Chain A
Amino acid sequence: MDAGVLADFARGCAVLGSGGGGGPAAVTCPVAEQAIEECGPVQVVTAGELPEDVLVMPVGLIGSPAVAEERIGSRAEPARMRERVEALHGVPVAAVLISEIGGLNGCTAVAWAARLGLPLLDADAMGRAFPRMDQNVLELAGLRPGPTVLADEYGRTVVLDHVDGPWLEELARAVVATFGGHAASSEYPLTAGQAARHAVAGSVTRAVAVGRGEGPPPVLTGKVSSVRRTDEDATRVLLEGTGADAGRLVRVEARSEFVAAVEDGRALALVPDVIALVDVRTGWAVPVEEIRYGLRVRLVTLPSAPIWYSEAGLRLAGPAAFGVHGLTREATP
């Protein structure tokens, strides 16, 4: 991955963010750009290319994007995190895994891989963006979150061990609050073999393809004809078809991310599907909080990794987990 590919990748990550994931990489894209400029392009490999039992370090930022925009971080962080992870496991880190491909964390992992001189796996732990740290496919596979390493840019470090997914979420949020709203995190450490079996494969390739507009055609081209924030967490967006789609009306429901797109009472897409509204003028997917009346958008929907449609997957991150009622998904075995 070089600087040219990075731009498409960041655009694709914004789509896979499904309206969340901390926005379209306003900070982390330049961070990755500079890291590549200083340390060279990043080698992207499939987990299967690595020996089965080597250690893979997942990375991402957690907390508030507004704080991350101010505290842009230290170039020394990746090495400190690697040192800490290696000390915990007693073996060297062989590759970096993106914790969350959707939103700003894809570029974060690219920057870290560049600075560490390590390959980046063509995979991630979500296949999209979700609000909770334990809403990932490694949790579904039964991997343990610990030891999870959380660190700020001064090197202050907290290790969470013997935690399950919900405990990880709760303790990590408390640590982030104490760190002032922002931290780097490496959770669900794993081997290359586990990554090959359980992580969402092909995420980087997919983000680049989506960023180049090579994904499926849009479900609808139209304009945002109303936005209603029904309470603190819920937003309802109406899309009015234009051009060839004139006359169509699609309702899009959002929490931290877009969770449902409904036309004539029928779900066009439903979480865990990826649902993105792409600004036709800029080509960038628009975060939920920036959707406003009059935006001209393409509604893009993509399926998530198959495991999200299993019974356990839907329980963790299906419609009910986001308080979406009246629309259900049948689990696929």
Chain B
Amino acid sequence: MIIGVDVGPTGTDAVLLDGGGTGGVTGGSRALRAVRVPSLPGDAVGSLVAAVEALPRELRARASQLAVGLRVADRALAERAGLAHVGVLRIGGEAADTVRPLFGWPAELRDAVCAGTANVAGGGGLGPRDGAPLDRDAVARFGAELAGRAEAFAVCAVFAPADGTQEREAAGILRAEAGADVPVVLSGEIGSLGLLRRENATVLDAALCLLVARVADELTAALPLLGLAPGAAVLVTRHDGTLMSLDHLRRQPGLSLGSGPACTIRGAGLLGGVRDAVVADIGERRARVGALTAGYPQEAGPGGRIGGVPVSLRVPELLTVGAAAHRDLAEAVDRMQPAAGRLPVVLVGGGADSVPGRALPGCDVVRPEHGGVAGAFGAAASPVGGHHERIVRAGPGRRLDAVRDEVRDLARAGAVRAGADPRRVRTLLEPDLTVPYLPGALLLRARAFGPPLPL
């Protein structure tokens, strides 16, 4: 049995699923119980405990997995609260200095986050010879300068998604100078090409790490109170609609940004029995519309922002309209359709009943039972996930199949690092994408899914 929890701004939902106890449920699971309790302001773990305790004790005792959408990271960024002071290290030097780190950030967010920035020589390119050697001394000086002042570091090297060696080396130097316990977040593990957006995402990650570590500690401490089965796995939601372990959340807190809507979209699809659909989550005041593609939320394209900052994160694509503005809702639903052959529309959320079918003309409307707890259901019924992508240049002597296998293996490794059972991970190679104006270049992408490793 699995418990899924969604800590919302006003209410916290918990559902209990008969998922066989191993996670990775993709169908056939039933919600046995669903409860809703008021959320405790500023206390996500307390809200979670209250919701789980509202489930019958004898059923809880059979739960082998708890999957939680805490939404603490989103809230912290919105409120600029609980953020760490981050030392931002760019590795690119004079070859990458036309836009300085944190340029264009809202001033109060930058002030809340920035402990200092440096841009040191180094960085890579599309090929191994395109880069420059790392200025280790400059990294050491930056580490020493910020020792005791920076609570975390964000490191972003030019072309790190293709080769993360210099970032790892810099992390070692920073730890030697500023303390072995200081978290160091590396951009190559966060995002893909696009230096500024990836750097921003890395800084947000570093800024969130103390907060999520504290929440993870609180959650771990609260576990004995919940009365779950011995050795139950605890997972949290991420923004691609999959799950990760608490340890992975500590390493990459930014993965949890946007996970609330992601789980709702995925849960809506599972509850409605559809893998491709438009999902409208109707709240009291706002309706959020997203799309479900092959069972997972459709990602936002480039140009996504979090907290006013352009970032490269795989957050779900969403359109937000007023809940009562049915014309706007119909337009948003149409915009999220992938083609004129209309997909069904799944209506979930507390306000779903207030939207009459005639507000969405021509649409096949699905109103699943338990649609009010789609987020908690999505958390309970999702696997642990991982992904990897890489730009490669096809050419003579370049074995693309071998690279595809490697990308697949790295996606698998990502899922295992996030807490998946290595024996049961399956991978999915996405179609290759071409890169505009870069002849012969392909973007290879793979995703991986698996049930959590039992404790």
Contact = CB atoms under 8 A, between A and B. Distances in A.
Contacts of A35: 98
Nearest to A131: B437
A72 B195 contact: yes
Contact of B437 (A64, A111, A154, A292): A64
Given A66-B435, A296-B331, A72 B127 contact: no
A213 interface: no
B98 A72 contact: yes
A295 interface: yes
Contacts of B301: 290
Given A154-B132, A296-B331, A70 B98 contact: no
B335 A294 contact: yes
A160 interface: no
Contacts of B434: 232
Nearest to B334: A294
Nearest to B194: A69
Interface string A137-164: 0000000000000000110000000000
B221 interface: no
B436 interface: yes
A71 B438 contact: no
B127 to A, nearest CB: 6
A260 to B, nearest CB: 20
A33 B104 contact: yes
A64 B94 contact: no
A76 B94 contact: yes
Interface string B51-90: 0000000000000000000000000000000000000000
Contact of B97 (A74, A181, A226, A294): A74
B99 interface: yes
Contacts of A180: 125-127, 130
A202 interface: no
Contacts of A179: 130
A73 B92 CA distance: 9
B126 A30 contact: no
The B interface, classified by DSSP as helix, strand, loop or mixed, is loop
A179 B104 CA distance: 29
A44 interface: no
Given A177-B439, A296-B331, A225 B340 contact: yes
Nearest to A108: B98
Interface in A32-62: 33-35
B196 A71 contact: no
B196 A30 contact: yes
Given A180-B127, A225-B340, A71 B96 contact: yes
B321 to A, nearest CB: 11
A293 interface: yes
B29 interface: no
A295 B319 CA distance: 12
Nearest to A292: B338
A153 B435 contact: no
A30 B197 CA distance: 12
A312 interface: no
Interface string A76-87: 100000000000
Contact of A74 (B95, B125, B331): B95
Contact of A22 (B92, B196, B437): B437
B302 interface: yes
A226 B340 contact: yes
Nearest to B319: A281
A31 interface: yes
Contacts of B126: 67, 180-181
Contacts of B95: 71, 73-74, 153-154
A223 interface: yes
A74 B97 CA distance: 5
A26 interface: yes
A72 B438 contact: no
A63 interface: yes
Contact of A72 (B125, B196, B336): B196
Interface in A271-313: 289-290, 292-296
Interface string B130-156: 101000000000000000000000000
B329 to A, nearest CB: 14
B193 A66 contact: yes
Interface string A168-179: 000001000101
Contacts of A293: 337-340
Interface string B209-241: 000000000000000000000000000000000
A72 B96 contact: yes
Contacts of A153: 94-96
5 contacts: A33-B104, A66-B435, A69-B194, A73-B96, A256-B436
Which 3 pairs across A and B sit closest by C-beta, in order of nearness?
A64-B438, A294-B335, A180-B130
Given A64-B441, A66-B435, 15 more contacts: A30-B99, A33-B104, A34-B98, A34-B103, A63-B438, A66-B194, A66-B438, A69-B196, A72-B96, A72-B195, A72-B196, A73-B95, A75-B94, A180-B127, A296-B331
